[in-house]
Amino acid sequence: MTMQSASDRDARARVILITVIGVAVTATLYFVGRAIVNRSIYSSVGLFGQTGVAVLSLKSLLSTVALGLAVVQVVLALWMYGRLPLADRAPKRIGVTHRIVGSVAFVITLPVAIHCAIAYGVQLTDPRVLVHSIAGCFFYGAFVAKVLLVQSKRLPGWTLPVAGGILAVLLLVLWYTSGLYYYNGYSVPI
């Protein structure tokens, strides 16, 4: 059996702490969202001047743009980590581009999430809504964790790719259960 170095233990403790913070954000959003359900005002809440079905159209458009930016994020991350087939080493500006694209994608999700939280809260009424609500809570918890991981030094090399992958998958799940649901005539394709 090998002895773990102090820096390995410190890195492990930081990863665990950051994970706990992400889970705490997720749980907070869940419980606040559940409280909102009880006093929900549903479709009377507008978004950028839109109400009713127009809000669904706008939210679907914004979530689709965010998903497209997430795909760009994944490609840029693969390039930065040297995992993009047929690509040379990524220039330094790719890291800056990755951060900018990620920031824009996150900002685009905010009005959608805020509208969902205020208008609907966290609902567990049917499988699609349940998955969407829970994925939304996890998305923002995972985002907080990823931001904290990015700011941490000397962490295992797998942490950022895993955190980024989790965010991308959660955004895909959110889009699948909302944007695609809207574009597919209020039906989730299986």
- Say which residues have a Cβ less than 8 Å from residue 162's Cβ, sequence separation at least 6: none
Q: Evaluate whether residue 107 is within a structural domain.
A: yes
Total domains in the chain come to 1
CA gap 57, 76 in Å, rounded: 29
- pLDDT(176) > 90: yes
40, part of any domain? yes
What's the CA gap between 112 and 76, in Å, rounded? 25
165, part of any domain: yes
pLDDT of residue 120: 85
3 within a domain of the structure (yes/no): no
Full residue range of the structural domain in which residue 80 is found: 35-183
Helix, strand and coil in the chain, % to nearest 5: 75, 0, 25
The CA distance from 187 to 118, in Å, is 23
- pLDDT recorded at residue 146: 93
Q: Considering the domain boundaries, does residue 83 fall inside one? A: yes
Average pLDDT over every residue of 128-139:
96
DSSP 24-51: HHHHHHHHHHHHHHTT--GGG--BTTB-
Residue 51 lies in a domain: yes
Of the pLDDT bands very low, low, confident and very high (cuts 50, 70, 90), residue 101 is very high
* Statement: residue 63 has pLDDT above 90: yes
Q: Is residue 98 part of a domain?
A: yes
74-85: average pLDDT: 90
Please check the confidence at residue 47 and state whether its pLDDT lies above 90: no
38 backbone φψ class: left, alpha, beta (φ>0; ψ -120 to 50): alpha
From 96, 112, 101, 43, select the one nearest 72 (Cα to Cα): 101
Kindly state whether residue 29 falls inside one of the protein's structural domains.
Answer: no
Distance CA 179, CA 163 (A): 23
Predicted confidence (pLDDT) at residue 39 exceeds the cutoff of 90: no
Please give the C-alpha separations between residue 80 and each of 11, 27, 181, in angstroms, as whole numbers.
Answer: 22, 32, 33
Average pLDDT on 43-48 reads: 68
